[in-house]
Amino acid sequence: DAGVTQSPTHLIKTRGQQVTLRCSPISGHKSVSWYQQVLGQGPQFIFQYYEKEERGRGNFPDRFSARQFPNYSSELNVNALLLGDSALYLCASSFQGYYEQYFGPGTRLTVT
Amino acid sequence: DAKTTQPNSMESNEEEPVHLPCNHSTISGTDYIHWYRQLPSQGPEYVIHGLTSNVNNRMASLAIAEDRKSSTLILHRATLRDAAVYYCIPIQGAQKLVFGQGTRLTINP
């Protein structure tokens, strides 16, 4: 079975630009969560979606937004990029939002 | 969110057992104890979880103290592939995962 997939793998953007990251969950998983991992630190929770509704939001500014589509895939959008947004963005899916989460390989975003 | 304390790093030898400790003294009665690990250049990977009783799966064993204020992840025969950062995460139901700094495990051949 295919795992969680994310695209693109790597991305380079300039300060002030906008970026959209994409995630496809494992088949049958209806919950998707997004995490940001800055180099040398553990992942930090950004959003959780279940059945297309936002179920949780971490301590991130409004420049960060997300949505989940009817096929349960998800997009994370970040506007007005800052240098500090450079990080690995991880997507995780889970069955009915419970217990173990399965992570994708991440999208490495570099803001210059 | 319950606070966790883990050693910054540990080292072991291949084919030997490894015991990774975690202190979570502020854990609530309904928090499950989850362990994830992150191999280099990969996303985190679920390892095991438990509530009160010790748990075993194909990857590892989880020993939970009777007062639930600490737990130990046990890798019975470490391999080079087990070199990773290991995170202990108390979590209730479908709540977000709160990752700390974790323990960086090095396995010597």
Each residue's pLDDT expressed in tens, for chain A with a length of 112 residues: 689 999 999 999 999 999 999 999 999 999 999 999 999 899 999 999 998 999 889 999 999 999 999 999 999 999 999 999 999 999 999 987 567 899 999 999 999 9
Please give the structure tokens belonging to residue A34: 């997004």
Residue with tokens 């997939």: A5
pLDDT of the residue at B92: 76
Higher per-residue confidence, A2 vs B51 = B51
Are B102 and A94 within 8 A, CB to CB? Answer: no
Of B42, B46, B102, the CB nearest to A100: B46
**A2 neighbors A104 (Cβ within 8 angstroms):** no
- pLDDT (tens digit per residue) in B1-45: 778 999 999 999 999 999 999 999 888 888 899 999 999 989 999
- Partners of residue A78 on adjacent β-strands: A19, A64
Contacting residues of B for A104, CB less than 8 Å apart: 43
CA distance B104 to A42: 11
Q: Which amino acid is at A13?
A: K
Are B94 and A100 within 8 A, CB to CB? Answer: no
pLDDT of the residue at B93: 66
pLDDT of the residue at A2: 82
pLDDT of the residue at A57: 93
Judging by beta carbons within 10 Å of its beta carbon (0-12, 13-18, 19+), is residue B8 exposed, middle or buried? Answer: exposed
Higher per-residue confidence, B65 vs A99 = B65
Whole-number CA gyration radius for chain A: 13
pLDDT of the residue at B36: 96
Asked if the peptide bond before residue A8 counts as cis, ω within 30 degrees of 0, the response is: yes
